[in-house]
């Protein structure tokens, strides 16, 4: 007889079982000695007793924990307004209970939790991209990592307004970050575990830029050894680059450039697709040459994946979004891969807005796509014309491709620097 599975929030009585799952599911940099166990015991005790934005949920067969996950309640910017979103964090399955559908059960619970908490979007950092694609999760914007000579960063006119930050400045840092979130589609505000890490990480240095005693931006970075045989060779690893506008960004980059005597190279990570236009020399330190005549500037990575749980409700909740003028009725037909059924979304574009189409509205164009690609299209992280050209989306009449591409286009693809 199959043992009944129960999903419930973890308590202090579950810590030993939690550690058994966690330390085996995430083995990197863990010694499995008493010191390691005690460190994580204290950490999870604090999370269970103090967390307000993060919930720890376990999946049990009888009294045995076979999996757990963390659910994070986020405030997320969607096209200029803040909304509730829920993130999946640290999904782990016991090494003796893999391939039994535990992860699927957890994802189902995760999405049900998000629905009951009125979240428009679920998001996660994938451990296996293909697994989440099959469950309907679409890609967000890529992160580009640049590793360039520090001297190649733009110059700043002066360092006026720059200040070394300490742990006492964390409230101002959070306020500055929140202002960037509120003007950046796809970003989420920092949550309690991120904030605790900021307060305790003594290796990260922060420099803030102020105007009239208000922090307009900051850079968080650490020095790293760049040579095993020469301690004077270092690099800067930039953990965060937060700025309210381009002028502030150039101030922060100018500060980093001035550290070229201490760190010969710098690693920067950004969701800005056009960041390389700021650099007079975009070639990175690899020296890599790519046919035909291309010099490597950076590496790109896929991170946050999104899923829109109720596409029609998403359209309603974001009807404030400003779109190009034009009238068009479009139907998106997609497979709900969790429920194994075909669904559709009918949208009317009219007067520079979008809204659910009336029941009797005649459709001008029909598209067939994966559920994952529908989320990417609605969040602006994919271009419709590109997906049609590549064959990822099928369209009933290609004459409407460019018009619908313009209506769906977002100037800023959804990207977040949150670590969860």
pLDDT range class, residue 34, cuts 50, 70, 90: confident
Rounded Cα distance between 350 and 253, Å, is 42
**pLDDT of the residue at 158:** 86
Rounded Cα distance between 187 and 200, Å, is 23
H/E element, 371: helix 371-379
pLDDT range class, residue 33, cuts 50, 70, 90: confident
> CB of 67 within 8 A of CB of 102?
yes
Alpha helix positions (H), 73-217: 102-116, 129-133, 170-181, 192-200
Rounded Cα distance between 127 and 104, Å, is 14
**pLDDT of the residue at 337:** 82
Alpha helix positions (H), 150-269: 170-181, 192-200, 246-257
Rounded Cα distance between 408 and 339, Å, is 27
> CB of 270 within 8 A of CB of 241?
yes
> CB of 358 within 8 A of CB of 375?
no
> Taking the model in full, what pTM does it have?
0.91
Q: Is residue 1 predicted with pLDDT exceeding 70?
A: no
**pLDDT of the residue at 420:** 82
Domains of the chain with bracketed CATH: 5-124 (3.40.630.30), 143-301 (3.40.630.30), 310-408 (3.30.1050.10)
Averaged pLDDT, 171-189: 96
Q: What are 78-109's pLDDT values in tens digits?
A: 999 999 999 998 899 999 999 888 988 999 99
Rounded Cα distance between 248 and 296, Å, is 27
Rounded Cα distance between 169 and 208, Å, is 9
């Amino acid at each position: 007889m199959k043992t009944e599975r129960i999903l419930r929030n973890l308590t202090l009585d579950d810590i030993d079982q939690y550690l058994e799952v966690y330390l085996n599911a995430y083995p990197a940099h863990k010694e499995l000695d008493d010191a390691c166990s005690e460190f994580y015991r204290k950490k999870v005790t604090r999370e269970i007793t103090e967390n307000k934005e993060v919930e720890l949920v376990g999946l049990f067969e009888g009294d045995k924990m076979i999996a757990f996950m963390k659910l994070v309640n986020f405030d997320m910017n969607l096209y200029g307004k803040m909304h509730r979103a829920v993130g999946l964090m640290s999904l782990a399955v016991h090494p003796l209970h893999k391939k039994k559908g535990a992860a699927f059960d957890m994802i189902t619970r995760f999405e049900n939790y998000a629905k009951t908490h009125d979240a428009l979007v679920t998001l996660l950092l994938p451990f296996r991209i293909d697994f989440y694609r099959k469950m309907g999760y679409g890609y967000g914007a890529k992160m580009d990592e640049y590793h360039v000579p520090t001297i190649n960063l733009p110059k700043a006119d002066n360092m006026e307004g720059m200040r070394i930050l300490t742990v006492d400045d964390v409230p101002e840092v959070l306020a500055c970050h929140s202002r960037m979130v509120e003007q950046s589609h796809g970003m989420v505000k920092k949550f309690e575990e991120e904030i605790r890490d900021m307060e305790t990480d003594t290796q990260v240095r922060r420099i803030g830029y102020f105007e009239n005693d208000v922090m307009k931006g900051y850079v968080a970075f650490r020095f790293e050894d760049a040579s095993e045989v020469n301690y004077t060779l270092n690099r800067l690893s930039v953990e965060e680059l937060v700025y309210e506008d381009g002028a502030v960004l150039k101030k922060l980059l100018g500060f980093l450039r001035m550290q070229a005597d201490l760190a010969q190279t710098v690693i920067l990570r950004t969701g800005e697709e056009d960041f390389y236009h700021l650099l007079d020399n975009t070639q990175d330190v690899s020296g890599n040459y790519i046919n035909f005549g291309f010099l490597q500037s950076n590496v790109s990575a896929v991170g946050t994946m999104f899923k829109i749980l109720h596409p029609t409700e998403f359209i309603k909740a974001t009807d404030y979004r400003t779109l190009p003028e034009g009238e068009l009725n479009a139907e998106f037909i997609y497979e709900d891969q969790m429920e194994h059924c075909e669904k559709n979304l009918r949208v009317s574009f009219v007067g520079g807005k979008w809204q659910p189409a009336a029941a009797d509205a005649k459709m001008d164009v029909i598209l067939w796509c994966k559920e994952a690609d529908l989320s990417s299209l609605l969040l602006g992280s994919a271009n419709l014309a590109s997906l049609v050209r590549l064959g990822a989306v099928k369209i009933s009449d290609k004459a409407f491709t460019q018009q619908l591409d313009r209506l769906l286009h977002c100037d800023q693809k959804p990207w977040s620097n949150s670590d969860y």
